[in-house]
Structure 1
Amino acid sequence: MQSTLLTLALWNVWAFTGVLFVIGGTLFVAGYFSGRRRMSAGNEPTEGAKLVSGAILALTAFVLALTLSFATNRMQERRDEGKEEANAIGTAWLQAKAIGGPEAERIAVLFEDYIVLRRDSLLLDADSPEIAVVAAKVGDLQTRIWAEQTTLIRTRPDPSVVSLMNAVNHAFDMTTAQRLAVNNQMPPQLTYLLLGLVFAGIFVVGLQLGFVGRSHIVLSVVLIALWTYVVVLILDFGNSRAGVFRTSTAAYDMTIAGFGPPQN
């Protein structure tokens, strides 16, 4: 189910939103007419039914708040890790430039290519075959950078070169941390729980209005639209490679700009 939702969201997030809204509207109508049939049959709603309905709506509100917090934290984590990675790469580049020499200059040039690849990798969709290609290129650049660093530390084992080695290692560590943060998507179980409770809540609202005998069309449509928007927002925040809210590349762009124009 989650794969189908992800595919639809990648194709068109507004189509995905529309599908959720239609499902919610259908469940509301089903709940409303179910309530009307029960009233027509002389089955008055009991206090127990009202209590259960209230409990479902309360649980729905709790899960909405929980998942929104989870998804927001994941998005903020990706932003923070991205900023740390960009800063770490920039620091390693500056140290390599300051040290000078053939190996250090090659390290700086390789980091210029490295950060561009890291930035571009964040813009790829979840189903893009380029993810594996870019990951392989990043791994190759890490190997080449470390080879230059190894040569440099063996020929010049002074404190400045040791500091550069630590900066390079930190940049690689931050890359790993950012990749883990990007791949840390919302668990499918949480997605199923969110959708299940929201749809159950919409059905319950329709059922209760059916008992009353007034559908309140405008208010009901607004309620379904708001719930749909919140659900889409949560799923968007929780998935870095689908939807509108992708991982920010602003820190990478600023670091790249700080490198200055390419040197021939």
Structure 2
Amino acid sequence: MDASSPLTALPVLLLGTILLVIVIGITWAGMRIRMKAAGRARAAAGRAEDVDEEEDANGAIVSAVLGLLALLLGFTFALAVNRFETRRALVLEEANAIGTAYLQTQVLPQPHRERLSMLLISYTDNRVVLAQQETPESRRQRLADNDRIVNDIWAATLAGFDSIKHLDMSNALVSSVNAVIDMDTSRKAGRMTHVPEEVFWVLIVYVLVAAAIIGYIVRSRSNFHLACVMHVLIVMSLMLIIDIDRPAAGGIRESQYPMELLSASMHAQPRAAYDRWRTPVAPPPME
């Protein structure tokens, strides 16, 4: 969604409050218009049969309007949740890719081993913090750090590859690091994929039109209060969908637990622990 759009710029709670006030106001205006129309109808002394037929027609209209609204909300909710599940799956895939690259990095000789290992740790820590940033400024800074570390990781991989290119697993190391870089792009794309903004605008317009129809049918203050309760539930559902569709600023975000677990493991496990059963390589003979 466009960053300048109210659907993106405004906090979800404020956006929901504004929409709820407008919806209730439209319902109240519709009720007042209906009351005036009913007064004119009583003055015209309409028949009771006509009134009953009108009530039946109004009930059918309300059922159709609310049924279609529920269908639209359910369809939009499914789109938002599908994107949320995709982002959550990408977190686990990225954690696995980084973990594999980190383990394969341990076959490198020094200083390539330590350099690439530390870069992968820094990259993981930055990814965890990046997913928790609230302000656009902090996200831009973290994204810049992310891109810089990615470039450093690839440069360190190329430098380390020259020292093991005679080994069979040299290509596996390059492939694993390349998978990490691919996951970086995949997660960025996943966070930039939203439910089309036009869908939300159509939903909002539909909610406003439904509020006007319901307000026109409402006849008493008690029914108006019940209609307000229904509007609260509808607006809450719409705001929930919008919040899920805000991966960087919403309250509902994909869990970073796999990345946090990986970061803790890499920090706790020293690189020297992987050498405890390795046979030291003899230095080349002196000529």
Is the contact made by 2:108 and 2:164 (CA closer than 8 Å) also made in structure 1?
Answer: no
Q: Which residue number corresponds to residue 86 of structure 1?
A: 95
**2: CA distance, partners of 1:38 / 1:241:** 49
Equivalent-residue separation in structure 1 for 2:233 and 2:61 (angstroms): 23
Is the 2:108–2:163 contact (alpha carbons within 8 Å) kept by the matching residues of 1?
A: no
C-alpha deviation, 1:52, in angstroms: 4.7
1:122 maps to which residue?
131
Report the CA distance between 1:188 and its aligned residue: 1.3
Offset at 1:53? 4.2
What corresponds to 2:75 in structure 1?
A: 66
Q: Report the alpha carbon displacement of residue 241 of structure 1 after superposing the two structures with TM.
A: 2.0
1:57 has 2:76 as partner: no
Who is 1:202 aligned against?
A: 211
The percentage of aligned residue pairs carrying the same residue is 25
Write the mapping of 1:127-146 to structure 2, written as runs, cut at 5 A: 128-146=136-154
Distance in 2 separating the partners of 1:260 and 1:241: 26
* Distance in 2 separating the partners of 1:159 and 1:51: 73
Which one of the candidate residues 250, 255, 267 is aligned to 1:248? 255
Q: Which residue of 1 aligns with 2:122?
A: 113
Which residue number corresponds to residue 26 of structure 1? 25
Q: How far off is 1:232 after superposition?
A: 0.8
Rounded to whole Å, the distance in 1 between the matches of 2:255 and 2:105 is: 26
**Paired position in structure 1 for 2:6:** 4
Does the CA contact (< 8 Å) of 1:25 and 1:224 recur in 2?
Answer: yes
**Aligned match of 1:229 in 233, 236, 256?**
236
Instruction: Specify whether residues 179 and 15 from structure 1 end up closer, same or farther in structure 2 by C-alpha distance, changes over 3 A only.
Output: same
Shift, 1:196, TM fit: 1.3
Residue 75 of structure 1 deviates from its aligned partner by: 1.1
- Following superposition, the deviation at residue 46 of structure 1 comes to 7.8
Contact 2:164 2:170 in 1 (8 A): yes
Kindly state the Cα deviation for residue 152 of structure 1 after the two structures are TM-superposed.
Answer: 2.1
The letter of the residue matching 1:115 is T
Say if 1:99 and 1:160, in contact at 8 Å, map to a contact too: no
Aligned-residue offset at 1:260: 2.7
- What code does the residue aligned with 1:116 have? D
Contact 1:104 1:148 in 2 (8 A): no
Shift in Å, 1:57: 2.3
For 2:107 and 2:265, how far apart are their aligned partners in 1?
A: 15
Structure 1, residues 39-82: CA drift from partner, whole Å, max 9, x if none? 22229648766655443322211110111111111111111111
- Which whole-Å deviations, capped at 9, do the CAs of 1:102-143 have from their partners, x for residues lacking one? 213211110000111112222223x51233322222222111
SS in structure 2 of the partner of residue 216 of structure 1: helix
Structure 1 residues 254-263 or 50-59, which shifts more? 50-59
Q: Which amino acid aligns with 1:5?
A: L
Structure-2-length-normalised TM-score:
0.81
Q: Could you say what secondary structure the match of 1:239 adopts?
A: coil
- Give 3-state SS (helix, strand or coil) of 2:132's partner: coil
Counterpart secondary structure, 2:5: helix
- Whether 1:220 aligns to 2:227 is yes
Equivalent in the alignment of 1:184: 193
Normalised to the residue count of structure 1, the TM-score between the two structures is: 0.87
Structure 2 partner of 1:40: 39
2:108–2:160 Cα contact (<8 Å) kept: no
Check the 8 A contact 2:218/2:224 in 1, yes or no. no
Q: Which runs of 5+ in 1 are unaligned?
A: none
The answer to whether residue 83 in structure 2 is matched with residue 102 in structure 1 is no
Matched residue, 2:277:
none
**Computing the radius of gyration over CA atoms, which structure comes out larger, 1 or 2?**
2
Aligned partner of 1:170 in structure 2 is 179
Aligned partner of 1:87: which letter? N
- Tell me by how many angstroms 1:214 deviates: 5.9
Instruction: Please state how far the C-alpha of 1:3 moved relative to its aligned partner.
Output: 2.0
